[in-house]
Chain A
Amino acid sequence: MISKTLSLQALCAQESITISPAVVAANNVVIVPKRIDGKDRLNSDFIPLIKQIRLKAGTSYIAKRDGEVGYYDFRGGEYELPLFILKDVLLPILLGILANRIDKMLFEYQESKKEDPDNKHLHEPEIKARWYITETQEYFELQGPASEASVSIKAYLKERSRKS
């Protein structure tokens, strides 16, 4: 897991998107879709996760560069989540839901491996997740095999709760 301090403006420049500070202030979570094929799109594999976050957050907003936000159903080798810009208080909720989802994917992978151990096409899922905490202006990026991602998230949550 890598982290760096970044202003909201720099983050928006990095993502080639315009999000006003007022929108960020008014919403507990802002979801930034991935730009694919000239259109903003959300990963269909994470629809339930995004929905859970939106319901838990109370106020949320799906940012867009232009046009309507659509969905995509492909990976290119990894499962990529949208970027979450969120209030610090919501981070444990996001990471809890994410860890749960990753563990479920890992379980499904391990079950498939047990059922079909010779299948050369079975690979451990690769995860890419990014989030930005508005108060501290910290940007986090997590990328790697699901088992490692799950361990990193749990260790981070443990460390965070110990500090608080």
Chain B
Amino acid sequence: MMGRDIGQIIAEARSLVKQQCVCDAESKYLSAISELEKNKDSVNGSRELWTTRAEYLWFRSQFLTNGESLEKSRQRKLESIRLLWKSAGLRGRFESELRAKAKDLVKMTILAVGCIIREDESHVHIECPIRIRSVGAGQFGFSIACFFEKATCSICGRDVVKDVECAHIPGEQYDGKQCHTKPENLRIDHVALTTNPKDPKTGFTALSIPKNEFYSNFSEDQIRRKSKFGLPLVCSLCMKEEIDPTEISVEKFFQMQGLELE
């Protein structure tokens, strides 16, 4: 079969996906993959095989997961994201498209099955910025408040404000050297947690909460089922509150669940 024919099959599969004819679409994809496997040893053939497989997996995770258990569905979705990511890593001309598809699938997975909350023996570890914000801590950043007695001029060594002999302005250049102030006798007064922090880049990026404390947010039935079947603790905040989780990147999605992306 010629490359053009395979392209035609894929185009038909896409068209069937649009028409929601998922079974027909699946057989078209499988037929294209089986043809591409014959040329997998060439560079282009291998690339086309990978990208078509990734597209197929993306399609499957979107349309063919009905009737599966939540955990099976999660595993399938995670595997699809991994494969899409790996395919994108081959740096073919579809790289950005595949990365966008992986990101899209991450969003869909969060909204469909939630995210696993990482646990160890004694604590749960929350690294999701959305969840952190929701528990309040994420609204705060840090402001360090300090006092100092002298602001020494880096050019002449005098106090830059109080000593009238100093004629330098901090931030200005003098003979190629920039003037800046050096605080002396500095004392940190306090560190404030505030919603309007002096340094906006500060804040909580991870929370570790004792398990017992965290489990009290869930019903007894949920906890019992979790221990009985060895299920992970799942955060469904975005599903419940209809939050758009676009800010969660593919890497962050795996990292915050303690899962390997590659």
- Measuring CB to CB, which residues of chain A are less than 8 angstroms from any residue of chain B? 36-37, 39, 41-42, 44, 47-48, 50-52, 54-55, 60, 62, 68-75, 77, 112, 116, 118-123
Contacts and interface: CB of A to CB of B under 8 A. Distances in A.
Interface of B: 133, 139, 141, 143-151, 160-162, 164, 167-171, 181, 183, 189, 192, 194-198, 200-203, 247
A74 B147 CA distance: 9
B147 A73 contact: yes
A138 to B, nearest CB: 26
Contact of A50 (B141, B150, B161, B247): B161
Contacts, number: 84
B148 A73 contact: yes
Contacts of A77: 194, 196
B162 A62 contact: yes
10 contacts: A51-B161, A54-B161, A55-B169, A69-B162, A71-B148, A73-B145, A73-B147, A112-B200, A116-B200, A123-B200
A47 B182 CA distance: 12
A71 B196 contact: no
Main secondary structure of the interface of B (DSSP, over half): loop
Contact of A54 (B145, B164, B181): B164
A124 to B, nearest CB: 10
Contact of B146 (A47, A69, A74, A123): A74
B252 to A, nearest CB: 13
Contacts of B196: 77, 121, 123
